[in-house]
Structure 1
Amino acid sequence: MSALAAVAILFGAFFVLLFGGVPISVSLGVASFVTALAFLPWDDSTYIIGQQMNVGLESFSLLAVPLFIFAGNIMNTGGIARRLVDLALVVVGRVPGALAHTNVLANMLFGALSGSAVASAAAIGSTLHDRQREAGYDPAFGAAVNIASAPTGLLIPPTTAAIVYSTVAGGVSVSALFMAGYVPGILMGLVIMVIAFVVTRRAEYPKAARVTSSEAIRCLFRALPGLLLIVVVVGGIVFGVFTATEGAAVAVLYTLVLSLAYRSMSWTALKDVVTRTVVATGVVMFLIAASTGMSWVMAYTGIPAAITEALLSVSDSRVVILGLMLVVLLVVGTFMDITPAILIFTPILLPISEELGMDPVQFGMVLILAMCIGTMTPPVGSVLFVGTSVSGESIERVVPKLIPHFAGLILLLIAVTFIPALSLALPGMMGLLE
């Protein structure tokens, strides 16, 4: 049976199940098993798929995922968001539309600490929503800025997206991916701030009240313990003091102690944080296990090689093929969350990008940035739904306000794709690229 038939069976079964309302992880597992049955006997298919799902979780680096999820949930509950918002307001308070810029900067800071776009959209959005409404901001515009900037934390380290990609991509350095995320992540925030500046200047939204030097210093010292987490965790991982998994454990301990010191974490809240972490971890780990089975089926049937050959035969132009890849990723992002998208499409598209001379670290940044855009687009954008929920605005009112951000971020995605230095310069300077 040909690779083309395998593609039809695998993705046909997957999308039929997915659009039938079956969870993504179950759809992955069933589609993989059905495809294996087309090539192998029942006993072999059952044994191999089960074995591969188990093997997919036998990775020490994957322990970092639940630990970073735990640390992010602690920060979302532990009073750190409020301190970061106050610091961000001091930094950008005198710029027209100060609260919009504060939202972006606070999301960049909190997202970098928590590594979760959803947690950032919820924490920062709920903290700033009432302030923006009182200052006369259009609530739909405020929600759009919050939604567009919340995914910056998926690029700015530490981020579980980079860890998952590293595992699927065959051991690409987590340290290199962490360093590669800084420039695209910061540029993503700046793009949103430029768009917000244009909108707020036209609407004549107010600046924040001037703060005294003593107030600015107080805000800095209140936020400093949280900011030091980035230095401790990312610095420790990059300079080899500890692994990504050990860094995640340090992040949990650090944020827990900090939240207790702030007296913002009760035992009841901690119990809720643990419960949410366990549920989220179960979902992510089952996704990883199921996608590992799918990856084996694709490799066994020659699907990645067939897709690579098909795409490369479309045109001799590197620009055209990379453009097609970006279109595929942007379309995928509209109906699939970032973790399953990374798990499914890395084995398919990474070989194509390498054939075109793209470094695996750069491709990781392109993939994650494309999925960041997907988190804010209907019909499945998780950040879109959380951001509209905390703002109380309808999706119909918020999406038109997001269109300028979509345009700006797609231009950034093109730049990251065709200018390798945006993602590779920093890890290259630090000697992290192979």
Structure 2
Amino acid sequence: MDWQIIIVLFGTFFIFLGLGVPISFGIAISSLLTVMLSLPFDAAIAVISQKLASGLDSFSLLAIPFFILAGNIMNQGGIALRLINFAKVLGGQLPGSLAHVNVLANMMFGSISGSAVASAAAVGGTMSPLQKKEGYDPAYSAAVNITSCPTGLLIPPSNTFIVYSLISGGTSIGALFLAGYIPGLIMGLGLMVVAAIIAKKRNYPVSEKPSGQIVLQRTLDALPSLGLIVIIMGGIIGGIFTATEASAIAVVYTLMLAVVFYREVTIRQIPAIILESVITTSIVLLLIGASMGMSWAMANADIPYMISDALMNVSENPIVVLLIINLILLIVGVFMDMTPALLIFTPIFLPIAMDLGMDPVHFGIMMTFNLCIGICTPPVGSALFIGCSVGKVKIDKVIKPLLPFYAVLVLALMLVTYIPEISLALPQAFLGY
């Protein structure tokens, strides 16, 4: 009976996924069918509906629509070009300088917008023509853009951490935000090392050294945008406001920046930006609500404990168990987008990790890092599709150039997995976590 429940839950979900049913509906229907194995139809409907509604009854979730709105305002507020110019100041003298500019700009823009896809489109769309003009291989340029755009999902503020906090039972959002900095930097710097080695072999050009006046101008242009991160993290660390309150402040700040300071967004554009944000928020919140029903169905059927027992039967060595979890998540990430994967597999793997003595903040960073790799991989990686589209490269042409970048991402993932201090050092230092 136990395995029958697992087969019904995950079997029907993946069937719906294969048929092209929206993921949120697939999650809800498969959860309903699973609950019907132990409850009458009317009771099963009531349980799933109740869990869907109660799953959205959380103050912390208010941060998601606000951060999405702030990100959309920034996307249209002329931020990308200013950050690219600032990235040229930071990485313009390195071998294959435009590749490093791409990585650095994605790290900054992604952290501000909170979206890997938006970062890949905005930064990649600007950088691709410049790199092509300088003689860069378009497939190489696309590979750099694709693998670096998810860095902003680790460097806060990040909606992914807010979702994880909810699904994990209230893990500190402030601690997660701080914990993401060093892993995000490791991801970006690792990609820059690979990019530099390849650029050196191919003799890609180094940009001319800018004058002091240009350096100052580009830095001053970028500082107001980067100030958002300082305000949000400074306020959270200083105890001035919560992460949810910080998201509302982020909207006010970005609106003033885009409309008044940069003057890239007009009042007439704001309703369209709000509508786009509402649509994105609705998709995310429907996923969260549906996943709460699935979490209850899994808990009711003791599925997390069954999977835990199965893993422990393979090995009780934490190194081996965490390696297996990472391998499973890497495979899942190939076929599933980050948010649904996080919602479905956190309730399964988090109890196992905590039984091994792993901190939930550390596990959240490991899981997010792992799934960041997934959105760069075929066949359904959203960053892969956007990166190839803006770079005007076919997917089959970019797979080979992506391989060395995949290798360094997996290596960085192993460092984050097995060295807890990488994730926990900043929360412990600033929050006493």
TM-score per shorter chain, which class? Answer: over 0.9
Amino acid at match of 2:302: G
Q: Is the aligned partner of 1:423 residue 2:423?
A: yes
Provide the identity percentage: 50
The answer on whether the counterparts of 1:176 and 1:432 sit within 8 Å (CA) in structure 2 is no
Amino acid at match of 2:160: A
**Structure 1 CA distance, aligned partners of 2:243 and 2:115?**
16
Question: What corresponds to 1:163 in structure 2?
Answer: 162
**Structure 2 CA distance, aligned partners of 1:307 and 1:15?**
18
Question: What corresponds to 1:136 in structure 2?
Answer: 135
Question: What corresponds to 2:11 in structure 1?
Answer: 12
**Structure 2 CA distance, aligned partners of 1:119 and 1:3?**
42
Relative distance call for 1:391 and 1:268 in structure 2 (3 A) is: farther
**Structure 2 CA distance, aligned partners of 1:267 and 1:390?**
28
**Structure 1 CA distance, aligned partners of 2:335 and 2:236?**
33
The answer on whether the counterparts of 1:175 and 1:432 sit within 8 Å (CA) in structure 2 is no
Q: Is the aligned partner of 1:382 residue 2:396?
A: no
Question: What corresponds to 1:401 in structure 2?
Answer: 401
Q: RMSD over aligned Cα, in angstroms? A: 1.0
The answer on whether the counterparts of 2:34 and 2:297 sit within 8 Å (CA) in structure 1 is yes
**Structure 2 CA distance, aligned partners of 1:423 and 1:3?**
36
Relative distance call for 1:178 and 1:414 in structure 2 (3 A) is: same
SS in 2 for 1:241: coil
Question: What corresponds to 2:83 in structure 1?
Answer: 84
Q: Could you state the TM-score of these two structures normalised by the residue count of structure 1?
A: 0.98
**Structure 2 CA distance, aligned partners of 1:267 and 1:239?**
33
Deviation at 1:415, TM superposition (A): 1.0
Question: What corresponds to 2:53 in structure 1?
Answer: 54
Deviation at 1:219, TM superposition (A): 0.5
**Structure 2 CA distance, aligned partners of 1:276 and 1:397?**
32
- Cα deviation 1:123-143 (Å, max 9, x = unaligned): 101111111111111111111
**Structure 2 CA distance, aligned partners of 1:127 and 1:409?**
24
Q: Is the aligned partner of 1:208 residue 2:202?
A: no
Question: What corresponds to 1:95 in structure 2?
Answer: 94
- Cα deviation 1:198-239 (Å, max 9, x = unaligned): 000111111111111111001000001001000001221222
Question: What corresponds to 2:216 in structure 1?
Answer: 217
Deviation at 1:266, TM superposition (A): 2.7
Deviation at 1:268, TM superposition (A): 4.7
SS in 2 for 1:57: coil
Amino acid at match of 2:318: R
Question: What corresponds to 1:277 in structure 2?
Answer: 277
**Structure 1 CA distance, aligned partners of 2:118 and 2:239?**
28
**Structure 2 CA distance, aligned partners of 1:335 and 1:268?**
39
Unaligned runs of 5+ in 2: none
**Structure 1 CA distance, aligned partners of 2:124 and 2:17?**
30
Question: What corresponds to 2:304 in structure 1?
Answer: 304
SS in 1 for 2:357: coil
Q: Is the aligned partner of 1:339 residue 2:328?
A: no
The answer on whether the counterparts of 2:27 and 2:291 sit within 8 Å (CA) in structure 1 is yes
**Structure 1 CA distance, aligned partners of 2:432 and 2:24?**
33
Amino acid at match of 2:45: T
**Structure 1 CA distance, aligned partners of 2:147 and 2:106?**
10
**Structure 2 CA distance, aligned partners of 1:275 and 1:385?**
24
Question: What corresponds to 2:65 in structure 1?
Answer: 66
The answer on whether the counterparts of 1:111 and 1:154 sit within 8 Å (CA) in structure 2 is yes
- Cα deviation 1:227-276 (Å, max 9, x = unaligned): 10000012212222111111111111111111112121134533332222
**Structure 2 CA distance, aligned partners of 1:212 and 1:39?**
72
**Mean Cα deviation higher: 311-320 or 169-178:** 311-320
Relative distance call for 1:161 and 1:126 in structure 2 (3 A) is: same
Question: What corresponds to 2:245 in structure 1?
Answer: 246
Question: What corresponds to 1:126 in structure 2?
Answer: 125
- Cα deviation 1:334-383 (Å, max 9, x = unaligned): 11111111110000000011111111011001100001000100111001
Question: What corresponds to 1:145 in structure 2?
Answer: 144
Amino acid at match of 1:317: N
**Structure 1 CA distance, aligned partners of 2:67 and 2:431?**
26
**Structure 2 CA distance, aligned partners of 1:117 and 1:349?**
24
**Structure 1 CA distance, aligned partners of 2:316 and 2:295?**
28
SS in 2 for 1:430: helix
Amino acid at match of 1:161: T
Amino acid at match of 2:331: V
How many residues were matched structurally?
Answer: 432
SS in 1 for 2:95: coil
The answer on whether the counterparts of 2:237 and 2:431 sit within 8 Å (CA) in structure 1 is no
**Mean Cα deviation higher: 192-201 or 273-282:** 273-282
SS in 2 for 1:39: coil
**Structure 2 CA distance, aligned partners of 1:222 and 1:431?**
32
SS in 1 for 2:209: coil
SS in 2 for 1:38: coil
Deviation at 1:3, TM superposition (A): 2.7
